[in-house]
Amino acid sequence: MNTEKTTHFGFTQVPHQDKVQRVTQVFDSVATNYDIMNDLMSLGIHRLWKRFSIELSGVQPGQRVLDLAGGTGDLAAKFATLVGEQGQVVLADINAAMLQVGRERLLDRGVLVDYAQVNAESLPFANNTFDIITMAFGLRNVTDKEAALASMLRVLKPGGRLLILEFSELKIRPLKPLYDLYSFKVLPLLGKLIVKDADSYRYLAESIRMHPNQETLLEMMQSVGFDRCDYHNLSGGIVAVHRGFKL
């Protein structure tokens, strides 16, 4: 009898320990064209989603911010201007290629932040370190989401807040067939044309469908100890911003 623990990689079941490497291969492939594809896939709307997340963060000058799965650094760059010289922003990602692209991009713009290659499930920071943690479009790629949420709670300061911006469940039912067509036909085609990689964007569509919906993620956050949890649907629930506080 095969008792090996498995998890989902898109619609495929893979050995639990293999998911990180498979996700790494996806982002190694798309890193240099990540922002271009984001603009194409969302028609630029991802910038508004991220702006809304920053507003919900309530960030103040002098605070410490951890931008997990921060990739190419667009959130980190904005946070750096808001916390000022007395604050700190750490751009963190599990993927070295994404982190390198982000570092080069921010240095070219003269934006100074700190960098860390980390696994969200076991963050290498002391307890009660950060005022704010954000994670934009990264949680669905994490193997053990509960462990990651618990790790984020640990490194937040009391009173600190977590914001998770992630694809979620579309709530406008008449649009679902069109959304499925776009997800499973158009996205892989864009991936093939722009980055010569249809498979990575097929995984993107599948990973969105496998990610916990709004209420399930809210319950997961509450179960690990986050307080005053809520969420905001954006674009009809295509994405949602979940927020939780540490007591």
For residue 95, give the nearest of 31, 37, 147, 151 by alpha carbon: 31
Rounded CA separation 96/20 (Å)? 13
Q: Is 120 annotated as a binding residue?
A: yes
The half-sphere exposure of 187 on its side-chain side, counting CA atoms within 13 A, is: 21
For residue 46, give the nearest of 33, 35, 58, 59 by alpha carbon: 35
Structure tokens at 99: 């982190």
Q: Is 72 annotated as a binding residue?
A: yes
Cβ contact 163:134 at 8 Å: yes
Structure tokens at 144: 């053990």
Rounded CA separation 195/33 (Å)? 7
- Specify the DSSP class assigned to residue 141: G
Cβ contact 234:222 at 8 Å: no
Cβ contact 151:122 at 8 Å: yes
DSSP string across 99-118: HHHHHHHHHHTT---EEEE-
Q: Is 39 annotated as a binding residue?
A: no
Q: Is 127 annotated as a binding residue?
A: no
Write out the binding residues for S-adenosyl-L-methionine. 72, 93, 119-120
Write out the binding residues. 72, 93, 119-120
